[in-house]
Amino acid sequence: MPILLADAHTAYKDHLLKEGKAEATVTAYTKDVEQLIEFVGKQGKTQVDEVSTNDISDFKDILKKRRYTSKSISRKINSIKSFFRFLQRENLVDSNPATDVQHPKYETTPPRVLSRIEYRALRDSCRGDGRMYAIVEILLQTGMRISELANLKLEDVDLERNILDIQAQKTRGARKLPLNVAAKEALLNYLEIRPRAREKTVFLTKTCRPFLVRNIRTAIDRYFRLAGIKNAKVNDLRHTFITEQLKAGTPLVYVSQLVGHKRITTTEKYLKLIDETGVNPNIKIEEL
């Protein structure tokens, strides 16, 4: 029986959610596939088995003409390939039309790492906001993902042993993160003003609802602007933690475990950011 692209799109979104993918990932992948569906829809194609390799290649060419960056196009091709791999596994298509579609070539830009002046300015900009100060400090001092911070529960915080428990997700294992002096102090100050609520999520809105990833991103972006920090994103706090740890001489394997990288080669890429003359083994985590 022919499967409508719209129905396949819904099934794919449900699949990503069940896999425990991050909210931002689900949104990006499903929007990319939705773009392809709109493109082929203008040609009268509404069913999964009507989409050809040429259609996807033509879609890629249209994106180039619309001045999408090669990196953005590559991500969209990734989304489309993932979409059709899912459909193939579910026996909704006989063959994968995206298999032979090539990614555009582009140079990978290195991760953005905040300078000391920048992350100190970021701290200063949100010092009057106890919740955001704690969020920034924890992200800087632990290197955890923003989704992990948003999902952090009160029972995951062990203030006696100074440990944060990061719970396992379907695609990620559980791990424990040390809570250093700076992060612990910021967290304790926030917990004193945290709304009293039955909700167990650590970071809440003023209406006692969990502080969602997208809202945390928006809030931190605002403080980046207030601090006068340009071209920075939330993930740059994680990049900064990894780089500073390696500069301080922390073993590569341990840093990889701390940040939850699946492959140590992912952590190794950060070594390229470190100028040999800038390595200082006396740097302490608390001085971040």
pLDDT of residue 281 exceeding 60, the answer is no
230: how many CB neighbours lie within 10 A of its CB? Answer: 8
Q: Which of 217, 216, 243 is nearest to 112 (CA)?
A: 243
Segment 83-94, tens digit of pLDDT:
999 999 998 888
Residue 196 CB burial class (10 angstroms; 0-12, 13-18, ≥19) = exposed
Report percent pLDDT > 90 for the chain: 74
Averaged pLDDT of the chain: 90
On whether the 116-287 domain is CATH 1.10.443.10, my answer is yes
At 273 the pLDDT is: 78
Task: Spell out the domain ranges in the chain.
Answer: 5-89, 116-287
Architecture of the domain defined by 5-89: Orthogonal Bundle (1.10)
Segment 102-152, tens digit of pLDDT:
888 876 778 899 999 999 999 999 999 999 999 999 999 999 999 999 999
For residue 59, give the amino acid letter.
F
Segment 144-155, tens digit of pLDDT:
999 999 999 999
Segment 146-198, tens digit of pLDDT:
999 999 999 999 999 999 999 987 678 899 999 999 999 999 999 999 998 89
Which residues on adjacent β-strands are paired with residue 134? Answer: none
